[in-house]
């Protein structure tokens, strides 16, 4: 019997050692299969570190240009990287790998149900024929060509001011690979329209947004009330549909924060062409009053224009539930009058 116990103990020892060896060698194999390289963030301003390899996934952090990260693996167009003790995913085209060897291609792991993170319901997008996962932003600087819009207290033209703001919005949005930015009016186009002595019609702008299948439509205007020169403030318009309600609320909040002007609220304007004829969520922002001398001079300040442009971008970012690297708080059609 004693010999039997010794034999059983011996068998147990072998089993324990075997199990330990299996786990140890398996673990060693997994880590040996991962090639860790160094990469440098290569964007104009910042790049999102996302929880999953998806542009709609939660942004864990924002990495600035020139920052160094550990590149663990690659999954299609995404790198799995380690940044400031956080493990996440970044768009591969914006990470410059410093070694001659690309990170080992890793199969997409099947997540464990118990470890799945809780996220807000993503915005439902229309399925694109190309299968792309990018939000389309159409930015329109109001008026154009022979249509100057309102005139400011020192003779400045509304179409010029809206284009200045729109160009700043375009520049900021293009730094984010999640956005496909489309301008309905550029300086070059405006010059062509002037040569032809024609106006750029609101219907044309709505058609551009529809043809491009834009995800949202945000219209930026400059107000005027020559009969009431003391009129002031920022307001945001929409056509009153439920589809547009979330967008108008978010954009108005950020517009008020950016301008610092009087809050004139959200108003329903169902007959405006750019709000009525666009097929996606649409809003129209009135930044301030050109007929109010103080507001007009403020809006001509480049620093103010920069702040308003950032506010528009922040509103767009929040709408798409993405973190923003500049403000503490996520395409669309931006229409400026």
Fold of the domain built from segment(s) 37-107: SH3 type barrels. (2.30.30)
Burial (CB count within 10 angstroms: exposed 0-12, middle 13-18, buried 19+), residue 219: buried
Task: Name the percent of the chain lying above pLDDT 90.
Answer: 39
Q: What are all long-range contacts of 293-298, with beta carbons under 8 Å and residues at least 24 apart?
A: 293/153, 293/229, 294/232, 295/232, 295/261, 296/152, 296/153, 296/154, 296/156, 297/153, 297/154
Predicted local confidence at residue 36, as pLDDT: 52
Using CA atoms, how far apart are residues 1 and 9, in angstroms rounded to an integer? 12
When comparing pLDDT for 117 and 201, which is higher? Answer: 201
Using CA atoms, how far apart are residues 33 and 27, in angstroms rounded to an integer? 10
Predicted local confidence at residue 228, as pLDDT: 96
Q: Is the pLDDT of residue 210 over 70?
A: yes
Q: What does the DSSP 8-state code read for residue 113?
A: G
Predicted local confidence at residue 112, as pLDDT: 35
Using CA atoms, how far apart are residues 51 and 61, in angstroms rounded to an integer? 9
The 10s digit of each residue's pLDDT in 95-126 is 888 654 444 444 444 443 332 332 323 334 44
8 to each of 16, 19, 21, 118, 329, how far by Cα in Å?
12, 16, 20, 49, 64
Using CA atoms, how far apart are residues 168 and 176, in angstroms rounded to an integer? 14
Predicted local confidence at residue 184, as pLDDT: 83
Helices (H) and strands (E) in the chain, counts: 8, 14
Model-wide pTM > 0.85: no
35 to each of 40, 58, 104, 157, 172, how far by Cα in Å?
16, 25, 6, 58, 34
Residue (of 320, 326, 302, 304) closest to 260 by Cα position: 304
Predicted local confidence at residue 322, as pLDDT: 53
Q: Is the pLDDT of residue 25 over 80?
A: no
211 to each of 181, 205, 252, 272, 316, how far by Cα in Å?
14, 10, 26, 19, 20
% helix / strand / coil in the chain, to the nearest 5?
Answer: 35, 25, 40
Domain layout of the chain by residue ranges: 37-107, 135-336
Q: Is the pLDDT of residue 237 over 80?
A: yes
Using CA atoms, how far apart are residues 329 and 287, in angstroms rounded to an integer? 21
Fold of the domain built from segment(s) 135-336: Aminopeptidase (3.40.630)
């Amino acid at each position: 019997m004693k010999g039997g116990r010794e034999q059983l103990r011996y068998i147990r020892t072998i089993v324990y050692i075997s199990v330990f060896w299996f786990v140890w060698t398996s673990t060693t194999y997994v880590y040996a299969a991962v090639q860790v390289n160094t990469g440098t963030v290569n964007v104009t301003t910042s790049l999102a570190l996302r929880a999953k390899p998806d542009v709609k996934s939660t942004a864990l952090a924002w990495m600035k240009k020139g920052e160094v990260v550990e590149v663990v693996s690659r999954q299609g167009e995404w790198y799995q990287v380690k940044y400031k003790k956080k493990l996440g995913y970044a768009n591969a085209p914006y990470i410059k790998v410093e070694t001659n060897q690309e990170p080992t291609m890793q199969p997409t792991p099947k997540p464990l149900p118990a470890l799945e993170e809780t996220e807000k319901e993503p915005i439902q997008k229309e399925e694109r024929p190309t299968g792309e996962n990018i939000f389309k932003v159409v930015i329109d600087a109001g008026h154009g060509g022979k249509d100057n819009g309102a005139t400011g207290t020192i003779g400045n033209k509304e179409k010029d001011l809206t284009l200045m703001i729109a160009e700043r919005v375009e520049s900021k949005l293009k730094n984010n690979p999640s956005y496909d930015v489309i301008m309905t009016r550029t300086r070059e186009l405006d010059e062509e329209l002037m040569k032809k002595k024609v106006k750029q019609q609101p219907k044309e702008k709505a058609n551009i947004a529809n043809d491009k299948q834009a995800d949202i439509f945000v219209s930026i205007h400059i107000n005027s009330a020559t009969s009431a020169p003391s009129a002031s403030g920022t307001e945001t318009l929409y056509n009153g549909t439920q589809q547009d309600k979330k967008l108008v609320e978010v954009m108005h909040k950020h517009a008020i924060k950016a301008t610092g002007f009087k809050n004139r609220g959200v108003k329903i304007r169902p007959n405006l062409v750019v709000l009525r004829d666009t097929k996606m969520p649409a809003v129209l922002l009135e930044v301030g009053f050109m007929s109010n001398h103080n507001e007009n001079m403020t809006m001509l300040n480049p620093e103010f224009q920069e702040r308003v442009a950032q506010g528009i971008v922040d509103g767009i970012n929040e709408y798409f539930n993405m973190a923003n690297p500049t403000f503490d708080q996520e395409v669309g059609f931006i229409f400026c009058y």
